Structure 1
């Protein structure tokens, strides 16, 4: 089942948002208009109702006599369009400005509600075929309920006006729906077009044309879409570099394996070309043994490199007493350096622990120490030190060797990097690339500082146990 595209979702969201906003505006306009009209009507009813009640209360304590006086008749005549009803405390209609149908229960209901509330109130009622809004004022003489004044005003015109307004708003909303959806489609297309272009360009990129500087076009919009394009191009550049490194790595591995295998092949070919003496066969086997060792060593380094560059998150670390490990390496280094009359020294802080794989870390450190000893002239000195610095364990491998040329220093941890003659201290194989991978797998960092003729210092920072898990 095909999922709904982003374009469709944008159209829906845009249309729904605009519809909701339009409905809110129209509803607010309708209810504000309704409130204004009824408020104006209520003000008129209140003014006239209070006036009639005041006049009546001044006339007499006898409601029936007061209702017959000319003043009330004149007061009714002064209220054109108003429906005035006067009721006594028994609910009887004493006087009204219009003829009242005896079967009409409207005023009975209003009278009963007046008895309950004992305060002025508004009610909408249907009197015959006319919709009326009534304002009822209770009359109290000497703190006794004497009756009520009911002032009514037709609201048919208001209701018809509101119905017409509602119809206009609904029709307007329906008419606006078409351009709203059309506008949503246009804006969605405009917003999605750069993404569609990038998607099409990305589909055309593969391993064959990745090296042809293929990139997605930058829409220059100054927003998140431009940021996405820049991110894609940055990703493509990293992939391009990775592919190039892998191709170079495969070529370098093939070259490293080709030499010993070719030598082995030639030796065997020569050996079987004719009968040889026992000593000659032993010589051929000895050369074959050396060549096979070179092949095995290269393959072993490749496997170590593959492990070191694997996701460090998959490594199940063990707790390592780094102080004991460095002390052991110092002893091994002293034995390795004895024949060259090189001194091995250094201060090792005790009880420093980290998390990781001890065998991998041991071999990586041994690789560094071996390089330091191998390319330090006699007499020389190699220093191996360890101490804490904040949440890090700091390891220093320092020698007084021939140093590394500045032009080669940034590249010494690359696989199969071929340095200048001054950089023969680190050879040209996989050793330092493996060291870098192991240190990264332990969430650490490594850097080298060197001066030609004065030596090299390798600095390694590894997180302590508490820092490793955070």
Structure 2
């Protein structure tokens, strides 16, 4: 009987080995199946697999159902975006002629002087505000849907800053604000038209919320991966609690309520910069001004 105990031990070890091997095989099969489901979900080709009863099959089935619901949710979200984009495009198309007519009639009234100038200016200002809102909605819709994509190339920053300063010089002069451009040889990979629009929205706010006689600095500095463009003002500043919200659509702080605006400029600026592979950072102190920093990729980062 001396051989019996070793035989039992060897048999037990063999059984444990077989159980462990079976477990590992089922585990590998489950992992392969889950990987297959993930790949199919990423490629938009999620299909029903033949599931069997058991804990592993239950997990696999639950995972499939989760991915399927996520896929359906993404499809519904895309359809909703398309409906909204179509609606905005239709509304904007229908509004172009009425807004143009209102502006024309306001100009005619001003020439005839049959209405007090103050009322005419109000008609013109509100019409321009409506036109700006419609155009902004169209841009937001097209950027979000990918209909419009920035075309970037490596180019210097200095011409961009000088063009921006020239564009806003008269508005700055009206408040005796000095636009200072720091000399720079910085380069970045960006779309000139869209980046100009993003910076214009930021500079417009800087002038709007800065006191008379103050200064706004425009500068740029290159790093290894990104080039930073800064717009630094001496305005009313932004509280720390509000900074996470200022890039939301139609967000307007209580301090900004007295100034004209619709709350889409900063949202558009962020969308434009992110569409180029960049990002925006804000540092601010209430009563001491704000600094908006746009980080645009360099050529080396894009390649």
The residue matched to 1:309 in structure 2 has which SS? helix
The residue matched to 2:114 in structure 1 has which SS? helix
Structure 1 segments unaligned to the other structure (5+ residues): 1-13, 19-184, 211-234, 268-276
In structure 2, the residue matched to 1:194 is: 59
Contact 1:364–1:434 (CA<8 Å) still a contact in 2?
yes
Structure with the higher fraction of residues in strand conformation: 1
In structure 1, the residue matched to 2:206 is: 372
Give deviations 1:332-356, integer Å, cap 9, x for gaps. 3444311211122131312x33233
Q: 1:424 to 1:437 in 2, by over 3 A?
A: farther
Measured in 1, the distance between the counterparts of 2:262 and 2:68 equals 38
Measured in 2, the distance between the counterparts of 1:434 and 1:279 equals 39
Measured in 1, the distance between the counterparts of 2:260 and 2:157 equals 25
Contact 2:133–2:262 (CA<8 Å) still a contact in 1?
no
TM-score normalised by L of structure 2: 0.62
Shift of 1:391: 2.9
The residue matched to 1:460 in structure 2 has which SS? strand
In structure 2, the residue matched to 1:348 is: 183
Contact 2:234–2:290 (CA<8 Å) still a contact in 1?
yes
Measured in 1, the distance between the counterparts of 2:295 and 2:129 equals 32
Matches within 5 A, 1:71-470: 189-200=54-65, 279=114, 290-311=125-146, 315-350=150-185, 352-421=186-255, 427-469=261-303
Between the two structures, name the one with larger relative contact order (CA 8 Å, sep ≥ 6). 2
Measured in 1, the distance between the counterparts of 2:163 and 2:66 equals 56
Structure 2 segments unaligned to the other structure (5+ residues): 1-21, 27-50, 103-111
Q: 1:432 to 1:313 in 2, by over 3 A?
A: closer
Count matched residues. 235
Aligned-CA RMSD value: 4.5
TM-score normalised by L of structure 1: 0.42
Measured in 1, the distance between the counterparts of 2:259 and 2:126 equals 23
Measured in 2, the distance between the counterparts of 1:385 and 1:295 equals 32
Shift of 1:450: 1.0
Shift of 1:357: 1.8
Measured in 1, the distance between the counterparts of 2:259 and 2:242 equals 11
The residue matched to 2:54 in structure 1 has which SS? helix
